[in-house]
Structure 1
């Protein structure tokens, strides 16, 4: 990490002629790329490190091509000689998803979605002009092979994990028919491929800007619109989905300068909505069921509800009987119930007591409840940030320490295993009307690792089970109970 930061400092100095003031490590996203914020002369820039050189090349080429056409993407300012580090314009930290989650379903947020779709149509059409698709990272076109890959991703990582019977050959035949149907689209322009509200950054002036389009290729414009409007985490209401699609079609029609056959356009849009819904389920299945990352499992119920609504209300325009049977299996009440955690109500008596402690200063806390039991997790197997000078006076609630634990230790894996174990007990305790469960995290000083882990578990249980939490950090706030 330090070597990368020094490389970023060297690149900035070489580009600007002046040293930067600070390089801040940003939280890691789902990819292997690492992001940093560079502070210099009252301005900020984003530095990206990635050892996948072809991916870097594609992003830089797309960015420069789109920027020449005044499209809302970051300007690439400098590139290291080995092409592993590049410096780009900083659009800030506030995504469209952040705005939706903080402000709710208001007119201002709707206009941001509407403008994003308008800018998407411009990117798809204007960005397509003169674009060299041989520079794409993977496929040059989202054709039948790519559609089949998304459908098989759903099959292997979600459908097959359900262990429900179906005719595998008939399903593959239906996949072939659907992918052939969607391949013959009237319109093919630049396809963003991962157009979601988290990849749209909103500046204070409410202008929208795009990131993470390096996976783009030539394809049907409906795919990107479907990705955004039907994003599971955004969970937009039905009237927003309908109105935003109409707004998008109007924008697209005006930009290409010819009328759309909106009936055909919508029919194929529905096909891509389904592809996207299934691809997302495959991703949640892979990350949640196979990699055991708890946050992805909690997204599956909403994704299934989206799929159920779609099946009940939309038409594909093509007969695929085995596929339809499989979809009905996926949205059956038993499957949705399987992935929907039991949640607490106002009448649920259970209180989960979560605490951090020091093995050297007091030891394992005493359970004051009647039933005893519970869990004690030893965090001393995780690399200790307290041994690093800059973190010694900080705690597991300070951002630099949290970044260190999340990005440079195995704390995320450790917590995923903790969540798996504790979730079983919490769900059972809710069902049986138990009143108390105590969960303790210990480390050497009770300052960094145990504090971070206790906060993370409290947040996880509150979000997943809506259960009452009493959170206490014995070393950090001995006299202060935090009720959440």
Structure 2
């Protein structure tokens, strides 16, 4: 069976009648979709691989609807016969979140948020006209059942993991009351479901929306809450208030009658709470159950965001047991449980990571600590046995793609990181100076090299630690002669 990149190449050639110069996998996102940038002689294209056929079909259909109305979403150009790969317009790498994190809270960034909310109002209200709601992935409408589903998602994947006693019936009564209250909203149009700054791209001076395949009919307030209360964005109270006012001004231009702003804002606060709880459920599922470090690291931010909300927001309905649990969750003991330490210039810990060949033996520990972790990578399918990868290493993209797509490497490494993170945090707390981590395979060239590189990246990103990375068998790697490499 053809690899994913080979299938992408076939689809590109069939549609564009050109051979790709290169196909590069993009960094993973929070979804199960895998993105690739395809380099053609005169343009680039984004290829998306996803084995969820229905999700792909929904995205393509929604995109076609928005494009027909000349609304700013990426064009989809082709899909393979299996509906597992589609090609779409390349909007570049500049998301609104990237601009915010690189430039800070500047007037220019504020204007991009304003433009994004103007875009949102148009997509919600104009896009609602003859929208194909029959293609929605789950419910066609974000009504009471969908709200209850989000609340239960939070309950099962976050609240219950805290193992804190609570009155289950009282909490369910509060969920019932809150979901009923929020369904009684006047303005129901297209709802993105995940309208956040990382899903807004800036391209040629215009904002574009992506990742809307989970959309359905629902309250206008939900998407605004998603953007303005995104934990990672960490917008100030003044920005939130001013941007909400801007959004309501834009909505008033598109509706036949102006909003009742008192009612709108009251229910907006309720949707902010729903969104905050849904995000905690998602972080709990991805982080606590799927063991993805990025989502674990996001839990403290989400709890802090909930703490800010609890200080001065009124939802407009009394939910005593839910309120009690939310106050408990935002108290220091619970928040401390998810705290992730960050290294600074005074942190003594240095992590030594080695890849090695079992033929040469496990690297010695010269610090006198007697060694550290040793992980055997030989249970992962060896790319070195395949002619196309024999003369490459774990530093090369084709080998990395093979390990990520064709083996259990990602599952293996997530389990490794679960183990070493415990030691890392304890060593940081106790002021220890050194930890050695070794990854071995047969030749010390492919699997162990990749694992060592990814683990170094993980520790730098999660803890900002100093990492010394060494590929101990590099001098013995089987590589092509220089003359052949240049061909």
TM-score by length of 1: 0.91
Partner of 1:404: 402
Classify 1:74/1:261 alpha carbon distance in 2 versus 1 (closer, same or farther; 3 Å): same
Name the CA shift for 1:372/1:42 in 2 (closer, same or farther; >3 Å).
Answer: same
Cα gap change, 1:245/1:325 in structure 2, threshold over 3 Å: closer, same or farther? same
1:477–1:209 Cα change, 3 Å: farther
Mark the runs of 5 or more structure 2 residues left unpaired by the alignment.
Answer: 477-487
Q: 1:6 to 1:451 in 2, by over 3 A?
A: closer
Q: Which segment is superposed worse, 140-149 or 124-133?
A: 124-133
Task: Tell me how far 1:30 sits from its aligned partner.
Answer: 3.7
CA contact (8 A) 1:5 1:23 kept: no
1:411, distance to aligned residue in structure 2 (A): 1.6
Counterparts of 2:405 and 2:7, CA distance in 1 = 19
Structure 1 unaligned blocks of 5 or more: 479-484
SS in 2 for 1:380: helix
Equivalent pair of 1:20/1:38 in contact (CA under 8 Å): no
Residue aligning to 2:147 = 147
User: Is the alpha carbon distance of 1:187 and 1:456 closer, same or farther for their aligned partners in structure 2, counting shifts above 3 Å?
Assistant: same
- Deviation string, structure 1 residues 304-331 (Cα, Å, up to 9, x no partner): 1111111112111111111100111211
In structure 1, the residue matched to 2:213 is 214
1:232 Cα offset (Å): 2.1
Deviations 1:179-210 (A, max 9, x none): 0111011111100111122222222x232212
Q: What is the deviation of 1:174?
A: 0.5
Mean Cα displacement is larger for which, 39-48 or 313-322?
A: 39-48
Deviations 1:345-369 (A, max 9, x none): 5433322222222223x42211111
**Paired residues for 1:222-241 under 5 Å:** 222-241=221-240
Taking the aligned partners of 1:349 and 1:59, their CA distance within structure 2 comes to 49
Cα pair 2:24 2:38 within 8 Å, conserved: no
Out of 232-241 and 187-196, give the one that drifted further. 232-241
Counterpart CA distance in 2 for 1:336 and 1:326 is 13
1:353 and 2:348 equivalent?
no
Are 1:446 and 2:482 an aligned pair? Answer: no
Contact preservation (8 Å) 1:96, 1:201: yes
CA-atom RMSD in angstroms: 2.4
Q: Which of residues 361, 364, 371 in structure 2 aligns to 1:363?
A: 361
Match of 1:99 in 2: 99
- Checking the alignment, whether the CA contact within 8 Å between 1:112 and 1:206 is kept in structure 2 is no
8 Å CA contact retained: 1:191, 1:224: yes
Give the distance between the partners of 1:7 and 1:376, measured in 2 at CA.
37
Q: Deviations over 1:390-435 (max 9, x none)?
A: 4344433333333332232222211111112112222222222222
For residue 315 of structure 1, what is the aligned residue in structure 2? 314
Task: Give the direction of change, closer, same or farther, for the CA distance of 1:49–1:415 in structure 2 (3 Å limit).
Answer: closer
State whether structure 2 residue 337 is matched by structure 1 residue 338: yes
Contact 1:74 1:89 in 2 (8 A): yes
Between the aligned partners of 1:353 and 1:80, the Cα distance in structure 2 is: 45
**Alpha-carbon separation, structure 2, partners of 1:447 and 1:263:** 64
Q: How does 1:38-77 map to 2 (within 5 A)?
A: 38-77=38-77
How far apart, CA to CA, are the structure 1 residues paired with 2:460 and 2:77? 43
> 1:66, CA displacement in angstroms?
0.8
Deviations 1:48-82 (A, max 9, x none): 34443432332222111111111011223234445
Contact 1:23-1:36 within 8 A present in 2 as well = no
Moved more, 144-153 or 323-332: 323-332
Residue number in structure 2 paired with 1:199: 199
Separation in 2, partners of 1:450, 1:4? 23
Q: Which residue of 2 aligns with 1:280?
A: 279
- Alignment size in residue pairs: 475
Determine the C-alpha separation between the residues in 2 that align with 1:368 and 1:32. 42
Change (3 A) 1:250 1:67: same
Give the TM-score taking structure 2 as reference length: 0.90
* Match of residue 436, structure 1, among 434, 443, 464: 434
Map of 1:167 onto structure 2: 167
- For structure 1, which segment, 138-147 or 26-35, has the greater mean C-alpha deviation from structure 2 after superposition? 26-35
Change over 3 Å in CA distance of 1:375–1:41 after alignment to 2: closer
3-state SS of the aligned residue for 1:299? Answer: helix
Q: Secondary structure at the match of 1:146?
A: helix
Kindly indicate whether the alpha-carbon contact (under 8 Å) linking 1:142 and 1:217 is maintained by their aligned counterparts in 2. yes
Q: Distance in 2 between matches of 1:463 and 1:52?
A: 30
Task: Check the 8 A contact 1:396/1:452 in 2, yes or no.
Answer: yes
**3-state secondary structure, aligned to 1:87:** strand
Q: Residues of 2 paired with 1:350 and 1:95: CA distance?
A: 34
**Distance of 2:199 and 2:190 partners within structure 1:** 16
Distance 1:90 1:245, change over 3 A: same
Superposition deviation, residue 460 in structure 1: 2.4
User: Which residues in structure 2 correspond to 1:121-132 (within 5 Å)?
Assistant: 121-132=121-132
